[in-house]
Amino acid sequence: MKESEDQITAGAKKRSTKNKRSRQKNDQATLAEIKLELERKVQQKTKELEEFSEKLDLINGELEDTKKRLHKKREYLINSERMISVGQMTASIVHEINNPLTAIISLVSAISMECKDSHKVTRYNNMLVHNINKLRSLTFSILSFVNPVTYDSVEYVDINSAIEELVAFYGYEIKKKDIQFSTELSGNLPNLLMPKIKIQQVILNVLKNAVFAVEAETGKVTVKTSKENGHIKIEVEDNGKGISKQAVKNIFTPFFSTKEKKEGSGLGLFICKEILDKYHGTIDVNSVHGKLTTFSIKLPIAKIKDNN
């Protein structure tokens, strides 16, 4: 009886071992299948990632091309706005050139008549040289403003001199409007580092808007410069009709204008902001509707390189 029980137990153990080996084989087969499936999925995902990467490279290339085209269009807009400004100032430019030319003609005639009086000849000659230099300075300013070759040339800019140059060939438009115009330029200001022509374009645009906004005879426009927290601050203040709060919110939006369609493109202040953004500057407006408006431009002071 005992022997029979031992046989049954041995048989059970044998069957258990056999079943265990069978399960191990099945598990190994299953693991092999899972491994193959995982490898297949990894290969598939790797292929998908490679295809996606190629698509991304293609999209990045297209985005870069689009970025370049947008940059060219933005520069074209800025150049166009600048040339429009020059066109609008033609009368002012001609008048400012005509004044020293008239003086030169008169002085030449006076010299020929007073050639015997050496003191008068010397004085007239000095006046002649002064007017010729004034004319040369004016034409140089105009050429600098118009010439696109130097448009992106970064340089150290004396902001006060840049403003004085600007006023020199826009002065006639101010006189023609018959308004009070003044400048309050702080002395010994540090330089800016940017193309002079671009900051002049920004100031000219704001200045033109200020002159347009004020009334003849009672109008006042003031341009100020100062130093503030590592920045040069330029303010253009006028006592015109002001700008509404709603208009202030949209003032730097392209094609937005408070002027009549024939008087403005709505791109001037947008372009000003684009230029200033590029050189880490800002432009803000503070306006009391019906009373006054102040545009504030801030640009970082140039860091002087230490040659040591």
Give pLDDT tens digits for 127-157.
777 777 667 666 665 655 555 444 567 889 9
Query: How many Å apart are CA 129 and CA 108, to the nearest integer?
Result: 11
78, 274 contact by CB (below 8 A): yes
Of 204, 212, 257, which Cα lies nearest the Cα of 82? 204
CA dihedral 133, 135, 139, 140 (to 10 degrees): 10
The secondary structure of residue 255, as a DSSP letter, is: T
Of 141, 199, 148, which Cα lies nearest the Cα of 170? 141
The count of other CB atoms within 10 Å of the CB of residue 141 is 19
289, 245 contact by CB (below 8 A): yes
Buried b vs exposed e over 61-99: b needs ≥16 C-beta within 10 Å?
A: eeeeeeeeeeeeeeeebbeebbeebeeebeebbebbbee
153, 195 contact by CB (below 8 A): yes
Measured in whole angstroms, the distance separating CA 138 from the mean position of its chain's CA atoms is 26
* φ and ψ at residue 236, rounded to 5 degrees: -120, 115
- Residues (pLDDT < 70) of the chain are 1-27, 74-96, 98-99, 103, 105-107, 109-117, 133-134, 136-152, 259-266, 304-308
Helix (H, G, I), strand (E, B) or coil at 66: helix
pLDDT digits (tens, 9 = 90+) for 51-84: 888 888 888 888 887 777 777 776 666 666 666 6
pLDDT of residue 180: 93
Q: Which pair of tokens denotes residue 99?
A: 């004044």
pLDDT digits (tens, 9 = 90+) for 20-33: 666 666 667 777 77
168, 142 contact by CB (below 8 A): no
pLDDT of residue 136: 66
Query: How many Å apart are CA 304 and CA 227, to the nearest integer?
Result: 16
Helix then strand count (H, E) for the chain reads 7, 7
Query: How many Å apart are CA 144 and CA 148, to the nearest integer?
Result: 8
Q: Which pair of tokens denotes residue 233?
A: 């601050």
pLDDT of residue 189: 95
Query: How many Å apart are CA 269 and CA 283, to the nearest integer?
Result: 9
103 burial (CB, 10 Å; 0-12 / 13-18 / 19+) is middle
